[in-house]
């Protein structure tokens, strides 16, 4: 019999599964608590389950969907994890301390098909989607690594891959992460970042209350077409219509990510275009000065350019923060460490 990955199951599916092997449904809640509250590493730790049931779990399930292949610590406290999947493929996740927050950046695919020009993961192509268990287990392993005294407070889906290109596994993972029986994350603490897959965005808005971030990176179609091939399928007008219609409680806003690339999208006229584009959306902007990499054909803008860009947004009363590069000395930007391990 093939062993199932136990972390593939949201609570209701786990109830069905335990009933299928002859147990009472409440056993699912016990298992869920063991997996995501107590973060067990072995079924032997579950002393409230009978020995016979533990043996059944031992032989019928796989507890781990990922294993830690490497970690690297940056001088600023950022820690990068490379995880090996059961088929040997590698993904990466990053833990970013920013007290009182501890943010986990997780991956949703091995590689990515969307080919954004400024992204190293995009150069790898898509190898495969992650399963729900592989998404959830990144969090379990990172939380195990930091220990009980510090809890991961925030989750961002900004690692390898486009989360909405793997929507089924993502939505199941979100249900597990939000379930109060397990991790119990607040929806305010989870952000899904997308390049703008419009139909999947609509579905996410309907089915999950988590925060949405849109990787915009250009405020005109010509530049965005060059940077992000997905823009040819869902151009800015279509994307912004979807953003305006996105269901959000009144205090929430969509975060727009904007990587600043020298002489590509960092000029004052680009900032003014961005102001016009966002004028009718409840938004905040995250400006990210590009982290140069020898394999990518872009440069980082000067500090003055970045501040001037931010200033134009501020003058238009847009909330705009500049995201400091974290973990630059360990190449914590999207896809960089796993890409290096794969190519070495």
* 58 catalytic per annotation: no
Q: Which two tokens stand for residue 108?
A: 């949703």
State how far the Cα of 109 lies from the Cα of 46, in Å rounded to an integer.
31
**What single-letter DSSP state applies at residue 226?**
H
**12-19 contact pairs (CB < 8 A, 24+):** 13/172
105 binds ligand SF4 (CB under 6 A): no
Least distance (Å) from ligand SF4 to the CB of residue 335? Answer: 7
* 299 catalytic per annotation: no
Q: Which of 92, 134, 162, 257 is catalytic?
A: 92
According to CB under 6 A, which residues from 127 to 186 bind ligand SF4? 160-162
How many CB atoms lie under 10 A from the CB of residue 20?
8
Task: Output 95 or 119, the one with its CB closest to ligand SF4.
Answer: 119
Which sign, positive or negative, has the C-alpha torsion 169, 171, 174, 178?
Answer: negative
Least distance (Å) from ligand SF4 to the CB of residue 221? Answer: 17
Stretch (H or E) spanning 105: strand 101-105
339 binds ligand SF4 (CB under 6 A): no
Q: How many whole angstroms from its chain centre is CA 31?
A: 25
Residue 257 near residue 214, CB atoms below 8 Å = yes
Applying CB under 6 A, among 11, 104, 176, 334 the residue interacting with ligand SF4 is 334
Size of the site for ligand SF4 (CB under 6 A): 12
Least distance (Å) from ligand SF4 to the CB of residue 195? Answer: 5
195 binds ligand SF4 (CB under 6 A): yes
Least distance (Å) from ligand SF4 to the CB of residue 168? Answer: 18
Q: Could you tell me the end-to-end alpha-carbon distance of the chain, in angstroms, rounded to an integer?
A: 36
Pattern of binders to ligand SF4 over 20-39, x per CB under 6 A? --------------------
Which sign, positive or negative, has the C-alpha torsion 203, 204, 209, 214?
Answer: negative
Task: Output 112 or 337, the one with its CB closest to ligand SF4.
Answer: 112
User: Which residues are catalytically annotated?
Assistant: 92, 334
Which residues in this chain contact ligand SF4 in the complex, by CB under 6 A?
112, 114-116, 119, 121-122, 160-162, 195, 334
């Amino acid at each position: 019999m093939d062993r199932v990955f136990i972390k593939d199951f949201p609570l209701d599916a786990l109830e069905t599964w335990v009933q299928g092997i002859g147990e009472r449904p409440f056993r699912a809640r016990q298992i869920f608590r063991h997996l995501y509250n107590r973060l067990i590493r072995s079924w032997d730790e579950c002393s409230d389950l009978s020995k016979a049931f533990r043996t059944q779990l031992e032989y019928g399930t796989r507890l781990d969907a990922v294993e830690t292949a490497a970690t690297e610590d940056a001088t600023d406290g950022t820690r990068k994890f490379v995880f090996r999947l059961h088929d040997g493929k590698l993904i990466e996740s990053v833990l970013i301390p920013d007290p009182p927050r501890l943010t986990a950046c997780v991956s949703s695919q091995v590689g990515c098909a969307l080919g954004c020009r400024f992204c190293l993961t995009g150069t790898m192509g898509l190898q495969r989607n992650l399963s729900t268990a592989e998404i959830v287990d990144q969090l379990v392993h990172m939380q195990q690594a930091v220990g009980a005294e510090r809890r991961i407070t925030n989750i961002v889906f900004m690692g390898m891959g486009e989360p909405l290109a793997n929507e089924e596994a993502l939505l199941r993972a979100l249900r597990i992460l939000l379930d109060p029986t397990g991790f119990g994350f607040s929806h305010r603490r989870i952000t899904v970042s997308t390049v703008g897959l419009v139909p999947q965005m609509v579905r996410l808005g309907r089915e999950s209350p988590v925060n949405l971030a849109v990787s915009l990176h250009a405020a005109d179609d010509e530049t965005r077409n060059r940077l992000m091939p997905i823009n040819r399928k869902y151009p800015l007008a279509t994307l912004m219509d979807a953003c305006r219609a996105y269901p959000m409680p009144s205090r929430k806003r969509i975060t727009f990510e904007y990587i600043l690339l020298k002489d590509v999208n960092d000029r004052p006229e680009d900032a003014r275009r961005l102001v016009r584009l966002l004028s009718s959306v409840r938004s905040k902007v995250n400006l990210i000065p590009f982290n140069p990499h020898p394999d990518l054909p872009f440069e980082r803008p000067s500090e003055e350019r970045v501040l001037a860009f931010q200033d134009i947004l501020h003058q238009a009363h847009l909330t705009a923060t500049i995201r400091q590069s974290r973990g630059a000395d360990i190449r914590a930007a999207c896809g960089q460490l796993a890409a290096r391990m794969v190519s070495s």
